[in-house]
């Protein structure tokens, strides 16, 4: 097991993701696309006030960058793949940060904010599990 919540396998050149029990497969591409779209739709509900512009801009960038980096990683070398996964992880963490600010400011529907925040944190855990697994693979390759 590579993490407390997610299982990452690298079989036949393919990355396979599932929950910790291994019962449920995770379609990460779809999940990242859904998160980006949900976040962009959510941002349209925030008031158009000057002080919120930076939050909206930064969150829109970080939330959409997660999936974009993951998509790019799919046609990369091993080292490029790992780099893109780490960038996506940083973007997930940044998305969580901006959502925490929105939550603290109480400027949006709190249920929506909590849902998006939970999803960004779950995405971070998945990407962290992938990075951890890939680090182990690289270490094993270097030991040979």
Whether 69 is covered by a domain: the verdict is yes
Whether 1 is covered by a domain: the verdict is no
Grade residue 140 by pLDDT with cuts at 50, 70 and 90.
confident
Residue range 57-114, pLDDT digits in tens: 999 999 999 999 999 998 888 899 999 999 999 999 999 999 999 999 999 999 999 9
Whether 133 is covered by a domain: the verdict is yes
Q: List CB contacts of 141: < 8 A, sequence separation 6 or more.
A: none
CATH of residue 74:
1.20.1440.60
Whether 15 is covered by a domain: the verdict is no
What is the structure's pLDDT at 45?
96
| Residue with token string 């993951």 | 70
* Structural domain count of the chain: 1
CB 19 within 8 Å of CB 47: no
pTM check: above 0.95 = no
For residue 69, give the H/E element and its range.
helix 53-73
Instruction: Measure the CA–CA gap between 58 and 65, rounded to whole angstroms.
Output: 10
Whether 26 is covered by a domain: the verdict is no
What is the structure's pLDDT at 2?
43
**Strand 14-19, strand 6-11: pairing:** antiparallel
Whether 11 is covered by a domain: the verdict is no
When pLDDT is averaged across residues 29-42 and rounded to a whole number, the result is 97
Whether 13 is covered by a domain: the verdict is no
Whether 70 is covered by a domain: the verdict is yes
Tell me the residue range of the domain where 106 lies: 32-143
């Amino acid at each position: 097991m590579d993490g407390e919540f997610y299982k990452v396998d690298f079989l036949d050149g393919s990355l396979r993701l599932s929950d910790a029990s291994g019962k449920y497969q995770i379609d990460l591409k779809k999940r990242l696309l859904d998160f980006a779209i949900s976040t962009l739709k959510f941002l349209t509900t925030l008031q158009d006030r000057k002080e919120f512009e930076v939050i909206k801009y930064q969150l829109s960038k970080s939330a959409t960058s997660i999936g974009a980096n993951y998509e790019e990683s799919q046609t990369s070398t091993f080292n490029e793949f790992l780099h893109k996964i780490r960038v996506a992880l940083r973007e997930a963490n940044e998305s969580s940060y901006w959502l925490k600010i929105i939550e603290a400011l109480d400027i949006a529907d709190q249920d929506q904010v909590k849902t998006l925040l939970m999803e960004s944190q779950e995405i971070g855990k998945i990407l962290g599990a992938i990075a951890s697994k890939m680090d182990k693979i690289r270490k094993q390759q270097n030991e040979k």
